Amino acid sequence: MLFLTRLTQNCALHPHKTAIEFIHPQRSQVVSYSQLEARVQQTIGWLLSLGVQPGDRVALQLPKCLTFIYLHLAVMRLGAISLPLNPDYPQRELAYFLTDSGTTLFLADAAAQSHVAPVVAEMPASSQTIYLHPTRDDDFAARLDAAPAAVLPRLPADPHQTALMIYTSGTTGQPKGAEITHGNLTANLNALHQAWGWREDDVLLHVLPIFHVHGLVVALHGALHAAATTILLPRFVAAQTLETLMQRRCTVFMAVPTIHRRLVECPTAAACDLSHMRLLTSGSDRLPDDLFYRFQQTFGHTLLERYGMTETGMNLSNPLTGERRVGSVGLPLPGVEARIVHPETEELLPDGQVGELQIRGPHVFKGYWQMPGKTAAAFTPDGWLRTGDLGLRQPDGYFTLKGRAKDLIITGGLNVYPPEVELALADHPAVAASAVIGCPDPEWGERIVAVIVPQPGVTVTAAALREHCRQQLANYKVPRTILFVNDLPRNALGKVQKAQLRQTLCQK
Ligand code: MLC
């Protein structure tokens, strides 16, 4: 049964149960499963009245709120494609996502209208934009009340149809829209349900952004699929998170290492009793060993580390019962095949040897939106996804990651490809050359450092370069440190030797 069908069934079976409780200083709201279904139905009616068709790309650039969730579910129920966007994207990136996806309907935050309007002005006449006031409950409700009711329950039946598109950056070229089908979502949710023992009486505390796979699919869809309750916070704040975990007797929590570190370092951590909890997971970035142990000592819980990516959802996970091995991302989830191959020959490697991790299974995405070449390059001829991550398999089946074949930085659980930042820097007239590297950072995992060779005779400050990047890139991609050098170390082919830069500059 596809995820959305199961969710509709959950709504019928548990009408009075709380599906989502949104906690907000001004507009907290509790939504039962029957209210959720009613709202999604009304939203379908509204989208139909706007002419949304199956296959259309509907971009959602809204803050984390219930309106976002109704829209996201309704778009997918209609057979259209939900395209969640980070509200932090600057105009250049936003323009690319809307144009590349051929967005037919763009639902934007009215509070960001002055920022978004110049981008919208350049969009083709065939695409509509509607500004919503997601912070005013009556705004969306009034639109829904005015819309005709949807005639049919509207449930997608084709597992191969794209439900969700999320953009991922790449080592070269522009970001790519990963097409995730209804079948992909369902396969992954079934696997996680089984592996993590999701239960109807689970209460998930949700603090992550909902425009990424982690917060949207693993956490939110996971809880809805299980008919569990989600307590939704608009953003992560450490003390509030700990207080809410206790006060609402939450049983499940999912986060990235930066968040777990802020929790153990929170002044109220030592006084917290989280003994009622059953599952705390960590992902999107490597969980450092020291944090694994500190978390255990502070809260008496062993974090369950798992491994996934936008293109696949979750692949590997430490077990719910059994050994959660420090430094390991665990075993393949049910229905997932994982192997380690030689990075060049792609021959299977014996246990213990480091090679590229490849993944196969019904949860693996369909391909990159309108990029058949990049899609073909992502897979081996026999259908294994090349993850670009390096790792090894231990003889008892546990996998350990050992770095990346690709030039990638992970900061606070978010992926940043250095060429994107280098391209933005190259646009500045004072920059002759640049190299962007990730340096280890206790809070963020890695910190973005830009090494700049200025144009001869030109002076420029680090602050000016950061401001320039801020105009072109989402905030988390802006280098935190900018260093100036006379020359970059290059090999005989002229390629910048980043390993050498990391070695000499990361300590500074
Ligand atoms: C925020 N900032 C970041 C950042 N997040 N900088 C680098 N990396 C990040 N991840 C910037 C802010 O814009 C701000 O910039 C400054 O850092 C300080 O902000 P803050 O208030 O301390 O940050 P906060 O808003 O609390 O956010 C930190 C965070 C957030 C850790 C809560 O980054 C987060 O929610 N991360 C989770 C990301 C995630 O969901 N990843 C999943 C991807 S899916 P300035 O300039 O204004 O000071 C995936 C697949 C999988 O990877 O397997 O899960």
Backbone angles phi, psi at 57, to 5 degrees: -95, 120
- The string over 188-227, giving b where at least 16 C-beta atoms fall within 10 Å of a residue's C-beta and e elsewhere, is bbbbbbebbebeeebbbbbbbbbbbbbbbbbbbbbbbbbb
Task: Name all domains of the chain by residue range, CATH numbers in brackets.
Answer: 3-157 (3.40.50.12780), 234-404 (3.40.50.12780), 408-505 (3.30.300.30)
pLDDT, tens digit, 9 for 90 and up, residues 192-234: 999 999 999 999 999 999 999 999 999 999 999 999 999 999 9
Residue 136 DSSP label: -
In ligand 1, the atom with minimum distance to the C-alpha of 213 is 44
Cβ(169) to ligand 1 under 6 A? no
Decide if pLDDT at 261 tops 80: yes
Task: Identify the residue whose C-alpha is closest to ligand 1 atom 50.
Answer: 309
Cβ(380) to ligand 1 under 6 A? no
Task: Identify the residue whose C-alpha is closest to ligand 1 atom 19.
Answer: 476
CA 61-62-64 angle, 5° bins: 130
C-beta of residue 166 within 8 angstroms of C-beta of residue 177: yes
In ligand 1, the atom with minimum distance to the C-alpha of 310 is 50
Out of 187-191, 405-409, 455-459, 488-492, give the one with best mean pLDDT: 187-191
Structure-token match 């996502």, residue found: 97
Please give the sequence-ordered ranges of beta strands (E in DSSP) within 140-251, or none if there are none: 162-168, 176-181, 203-206, 229-232
Task: Identify the residue whose C-alpha is closest to ligand 1 atom 41.
Answer: 413
Residue 148 DSSP label: P
Q: What pLDDT was estimated at residue 404?
A: 79
Structure-token match 């002044």, residue found: 267
Q: Residue 146: pLDDT band by 50, 70, 90 thresholds?
A: confident
Cβ(40) to ligand 1 under 6 A? no
Ligand 1 centroid–CA 261 distance in Å is: 13
Cβ(82) to ligand 1 under 6 A? no
Angle at which helices 66-77 and 3-13 cross, to 10°: 120
Decide if pLDDT at 138 tops 90: no
Q: What pLDDT was estimated at residue 300?
A: 98
Cβ(414) to ligand 1 under 6 A? yes
Q: Residue 169: pLDDT band by 50, 70, 90 thresholds?
A: confident
Q: What pLDDT was estimated at residue 407?
A: 80
Q: Residue 172: pLDDT band by 50, 70, 90 thresholds?
A: low
- Between 160 and 141, whose confidence is greater? 160
Ligand 1 centroid–CA 333 distance in Å is: 27
- Between 64 and 155, whose confidence is greater? 64
Ranking 94-103, 295-304, 493-502 by mean pLDDT, the lowest is 493-502
DSSP 217-242: IIIIIHHHHTT-EEEE-SS--HHHHH
Cβ(237) to ligand 1 under 6 A? no
Q: Residue 141: pLDDT band by 50, 70, 90 thresholds?
A: confident
pLDDT, tens digit, 9 for 90 and up, residues 332-386: 999 999 999 998 999 999 999 999 999 999 999 999 999 999 999 999 999 999 9
Decide if pLDDT at 156 tops 90: no
Ranking 11-20, 166-175, 410-419, 422-431 by mean pLDDT, the lowest is 166-175
Ligand 1 centroid–CA 256 distance in Å is: 9
